[in-house]
């Protein structure tokens, strides 16, 4: 009987433990596992109109399964789904999950923190749509309110303190933001969250000395490798942006002397490499590190190494937009336009379904779809005689044998450039090239709009004033046109006077004397239109003379001079030199 009692008690205890284990261990574990499956479905790439709707429906079925079979009103599930929907920019779905979780448990710290995060990151336009009628509370006021609810219950909650600091950072209230990040460090001197907030703040404020100070502190405390991977990547990009230029120098501007931070050319490449090496030790499987190594290699003119790193990044994440774009840039730089275009096409497609790591806090995207379209435009603009546009957007390396096809490629370039502008990407080269395409199509006002923004570039590349002068001429604004030609002539005649021996094959000599010859011809055309025979004739003679100095003939000027003021029943308009510079920095197509 004693033995029976012992075994009976053991069986009862085993039964109770089994029930408790099933209820409080197995069910929560299974609930968490199924929720993770649902989150993966939400985050999975796909077409937003068809596939994603199906994925969301499947994810919601899994959510209902958890609610019915495992854990009723599973608060972590609501929060996990909300964050996944938020990252996919499905703000309505995310808000519903969070509001439901809040109604189930109004004091859940996890939910309150997630509500703070939600309101601190949603677009202002979306907030205006959901803001209660009559409320004057801003989006960030609402975010801070939820974070303060957390701090009222748990005064030293790092997530809430960090969230408020970030909210103030987005508002541009940097002093308040810094106070909260410093409070985190005060509560926990080893808090990488607090130091991360400070580094990010100083990067956003472009305070290099403060960034370096926190960086050095983390190195001294052996905490640099604890910094989030995305922030280390952002830090490397920030330092890379401090490379030496004609106007900036970290040694002169910031007094940085140490070889740990700069090389002999005053470029910050050593500190960039040290940050990337720390990132590699922390997370060797993190794809962006290889992209950033590739960018560093590109800056150091090591294109072979750039190619190698980009292939490593794509091996880890084949759908990585920035790596695909950069690989397109690599093939563009080595003058392989067909391969470059293939990678740019893949990059545009990949941009529609970014990988998971791009949603992490601190992640900084170094490339843009607009820039991708810009390079695609450049391929058809600069390599018009090496690529052919075929069915299905395919390219073939073939010689072009017709001006018609050249113009067709310019039209494709125009489309890509306009898409780049639509995506918010602008550059002087894009504006000039697109303006030249408009000009060739006779759309002079549109060309002028593009070129009028380039005045800073006229200082370093004055020959492009010629393009502006021609556009004004075609719009019958002769005074503005004359002004552009005279400015160009004034600058280049000074250069011409300093040349003792003209070398007809030298690119700089060709640019100077051809620009002067063309400008004088067109200046003569203006004077002819104004019936000023003397000035017109002098201008045409100067055009002929400057062309001769590089052993060329200005046939436009000779014809204009020969027939300009002869008696005719109907006046003949002068011939304008339409050979405007090919691009900024490239005077003619033959100089590519």
- The yes-or-no verdict on residue 524 having pLDDT over 50 is yes
Topology match between the domains 285-426 and 460-591: yes
pLDDT at 496 over 60: yes
Q: What is the CA angle 511-515-517, rounded to 5?
A: 125
Mean pLDDT of 364-378: 97
Side-chain-side CA neighbours of 419 within 13 Å: the count stands at: 17
Alpha-carbon Rg for the chain, nearest whole angstrom, is 33
Residue 400: pLDDT over 50: no
Low-confidence winner among 53-62, 496-505, 568-577 (lowest mean pLDDT): 568-577
Domain boundaries, the chain: 285-426, 460-591
Q: For the full predicted model, state whether its pTM sits above 0.85.
A: no
Per DSSP (E only), the strands in 33-181 are none
The overall average pLDDT reported for the chain is 90
Q: How far apart are CA 272 and CA 275, in angstroms?
A: 5
Of residues 457 and 401, the one with the higher pLDDT is 457
Can you say how many angstroms the Cα of residue 113 is from the centroid of all Cα atoms in its chain? 30
Assign domain 460-591 to its CATH architecture: Alpha Horseshoe (1.25)
CATH fourth-level superfamily of 285-426:
Tetratricopeptide repeat domain (1.25.40.10)
SS3 assignment, position 140: helix
pLDDT tens for each residue of 296-343: 999 999 999 999 999 999 999 999 999 999 999 999 999 999 999 999
Position 399 pLDDT exceeds 50: no
Query: Angle 192-204/174-187 helices, nearest 10 degrees?
Result: 160
pLDDT of res. 409: 87
| CA–CA separation, 522 and 412 (whole Å) | 30
- Higher-confidence residue: 3 or 174? 174
pLDDT at 9: 61
Encode pLDDT of 536-560 as tens digits: 999 999 999 999 999 999 999 999 9
For 47, the 3-state DSSP assignment is coil
**Which residues, at least 6 apart from 568, have a Cβ–Cβ distance to it below 8 Å?**
none
* Packing angle, helices 174-187 and 158-171, rounded to 10: 160
Share of the chain above pLDDT 70, in %: 92
Would the pLDDT of 61 be above 80?
A: yes
Straight-line distance from the first to the last Cα atom of the chain, in angstroms, rounded to the nearest whole number: 102
**What is the β-pairing status of strands 388-390 and 394-396?**
antiparallel
> What is the pLDDT, as a whole number, of residue 20?
53
Contacts of 263 (CB under 8 A, 6+ apart): 269, 270
**Alpha helices in 300-441, H assignment, sequence order:** 303-316, 321-333, 337-350, 369-382, 403-422, 428-440
Please give the Cα distance from 161 to 386 (Å, whole number).
Answer: 58
Q: Is the dihedral of CA 455, 456, 458, 464 positive or negative?
A: negative
Please tell me which residue, 7 or 296, carries the higher pLDDT value: 296
pLDDT in tens, 26-41: 778 888 999 999 999 9
Place of tokens 């509001």: 99
Range from 18-22, 163-167, 380-384, 412-416 carrying the lowest mean pLDDT? 18-22
In terms of phi and psi (left: phi > 0; alpha: psi -120 to 50; beta: otherwise), the region of 186 is: alpha
Per-residue pLDDT at 405: 62
């Amino acid at each position: 009987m004693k033995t029976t009692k012992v075994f009976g008690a053991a069986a009862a205890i085993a039964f109770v433990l089994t029930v408790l284990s099933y209820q409080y261990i197995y069910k929560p574990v299974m609930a968490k596992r199924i929720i993770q499956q649902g989150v993966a479905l939400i985050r999975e790439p796909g077409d937003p109109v068809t596939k994603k709707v199906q994925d969301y429906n499947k994810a919601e079925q899994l959510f209902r399964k958890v609610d019915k079979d495992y854990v009723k009103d599973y608060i972590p599930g609501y929060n996990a789904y909300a964050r996944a929907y938020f990252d996919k920019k499905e703000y309505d779905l995310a808000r519903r999950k969070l509001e439901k979780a809040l109604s189930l448990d109004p004091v859940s710290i996890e939910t309150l923190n997630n509500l703070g995060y939600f309101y601190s990151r949603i677009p202002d336009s979306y907030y205006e749509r959901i803001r209660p009628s009559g409320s004057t509370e801003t989006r960030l006021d609402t975010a801070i309110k939820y974070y303060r609810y957390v701090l009222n219950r748990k005064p030293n909650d790092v997530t809430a303190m960090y969230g408020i600091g970030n909210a103030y950072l987005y508002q541009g209230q940097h002093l308040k933001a810094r106070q909260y990040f410093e409070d985190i460090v005060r509560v926990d001197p080893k808090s990488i969250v607090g130091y991360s907030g400070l580094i990010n703040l100083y990067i956003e404020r472009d305070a290099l000395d403060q960034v370096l100070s926190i960086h050095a502190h983390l190195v001294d405390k052996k905490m640099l490798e604890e910094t989030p991977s995305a922030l280390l990547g952002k830090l490397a990009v920030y330092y890379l942006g401090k490379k030496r230029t004609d106007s900036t120098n970290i040694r002169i501007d910031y007094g940085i002397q140490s070889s740990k931070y700069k090389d002999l050319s005053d470029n910050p490449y050593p500190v960039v490499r040290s940050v990337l090496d720390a990132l590699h030790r922390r997370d060797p499987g993190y794809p962006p590190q290889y992209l950033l190594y590739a960018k560093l290699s590109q800056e150091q003119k090591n294109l072979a190494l750039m190619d190698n790193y980009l292939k490593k990044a794509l091996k880890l994440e084949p759908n990585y937009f920035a790596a695909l774009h950069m690989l397109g840039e690599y093939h563009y730089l080595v003058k392989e336009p067909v391969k470059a275009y293939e990678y740019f096409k893949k990059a545009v497609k990949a941009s529609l379904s970014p990988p998971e790591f791009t949603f992490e806090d601190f992640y900084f995207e170094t490339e843009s779809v607009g820039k991708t379209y810009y390079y695609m435009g450049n391929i058809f603009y600069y390599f018009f005689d090496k690529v052919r546009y075929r069915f299905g957007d395919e390219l073939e390396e073939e010689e072009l044998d017709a001006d018609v096809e050249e113009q067709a490629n310019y039209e494709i370039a125009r489309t890509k450039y306009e898409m780049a502008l639509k995506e918010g990407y602008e550059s002087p080269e894009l504006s000039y090239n697109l303006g030249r395409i408009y000009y060739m199509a006779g759309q002079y006002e549109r060309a002028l709009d593009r070129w009028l923004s380039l005045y800073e570039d006229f200082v370093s590349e004055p020959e492009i004033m010629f393009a502006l002068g021609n556009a004004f001429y075609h719009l019958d604004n002769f005074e503005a046109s004359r002004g552009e030609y005279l400015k160009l002539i004034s600058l280049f005649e000074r250069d011409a006077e300093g040349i003792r021996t003209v070398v007809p094959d030298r690119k700089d000599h060709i640019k100077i004397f051809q620009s002067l010859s063309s400008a004088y011809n067109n200046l003569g055309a203006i004077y002819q239109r104004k019936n000023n025979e003397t000035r017109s004739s002098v201008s045409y003679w100067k055009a002929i003379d400057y062309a001769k100095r590089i052993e060329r003939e200005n046939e436009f000027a000779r014809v204009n001079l020969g027939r300009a003021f002869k008696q005719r029943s109907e006046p003949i308009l002068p011939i304008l030199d339409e050979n405007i510079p090919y691009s900024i920095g490239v005077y003619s197509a033959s100089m590519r």
